[in-house]
Amino acid sequence: MTVTSGSKVEVRLPSRLGFEKVAMSTAAGMAKLMGFSEDRIEDLKTAVAEACINAMEHGNQMNASIPVSVVLSMKPNELEVKVMDNGSGMEAPAPSPDIDRKMSGEEDARGMGMFLIQALVDEVEWVSGTGTEEQSFVRLVIRMNKENE
Amino acid sequence: MQTANKVSQQQLTGASGQPVTCLRFSGDISSASKDAVVGTYQALDKASHKQILLDFKGVEYLNSSGIALVIQVLMEASKSGQTIAICGLTPHFTKVFTMVGITKYATLLPDEAAAVAAL
């Protein structure tokens, strides 16, 4: 199998928790074909899973009949992942979780997904859709060699 | 679609001679795992289970909602004067747990043997 920059794969998931693993496995398979290291693939898997969960929960309000679309595009030395939903978009950047505030109950124990995405990939942008015409999406880029390492 | 999560419980003895209650998780740890993670912990008598080891060696999938359940256990354990140690995480999730600050409230150890030696 020849791995070609420009190859694209699209996955459509029902907004039902657990299906994020389908996108996660697809992303991991593509990254492996491209020659990503195991630790970068693990970063990618977590980021893609969290992006899909956000899209299901916050974007599509867990309506299983509304799909989350995931488009994975191979580029030279990087993989771009767009996760699209029907919501109004997310506000970014996400604050870092404050473990002391979580432990004291001042901050929800949940709500770490966006932070993890930002911390694990090389580029991330959240784009708000304009309603039914354009979907909201998060675009992640992960490179074969992490920047600043 | 979610893989069933399982938890088993075993009594160990730490190097200090004190009992260690090991909760071994397997399968998925996600938002659907509240009973397995928080429920199993809450079922333990707090006075007689002072040292608890959470073993993630058998976990196949873990996400931020699952990590939030671990934080919930840490919150309750902190209030009850219990010590929590965590073992069996992959290098990736050792990094993630460190990034979110869990290491401030629980010790991460590579495996059960290292945990027992440290407790």
Q: Where are the domains of chain B?
A: 6-118
Is the CB of A99 less than 8 angstroms away from the CB of B101? yes
SS3 of chain B: CCCCCEEEEEEEECCCCCEEEEEEEEEEECHHHHHHHHHHHHCCCCCCCCEEEEEEEEEEEECHHHHHHHHHHHHHHHHHCCEEEEECCCHHHHHHHHHCCHHHCCEEECCHHHHHHHC
B75 contacts on A by Cβ (under 8 Å) = 102-103, 105, 109
The correct answer on CATH 3.40.50.2300 for the domain covering A8-143 is no
- Output the tens digit of pLDDT for each of chain A's 149 residues: 556 678 999 999 999 999 999 999 999 999 999 999 999 999 999 999 999 999 999 999 999 999 999 999 999 999 999 999 998 887 767 778 889 899 988 888 888 999 999 999 999 999 998 766 789 999 999 999 876 44
Q: What distance in Å separates the CA atoms of residue A37 and residue A40, rounded to the nearest whole number? A: 5
* Minimal C-alpha gap between B70 and chain A (Å): 9
Give residue limits of the domains in chain A.
8-143
CB B31 to CB A16 under 8 A? no
* B6-118: CATH topology: Transcription Regulator spoIIAA (3.30.750)
Query: ipTM > 0.95?
Result: no
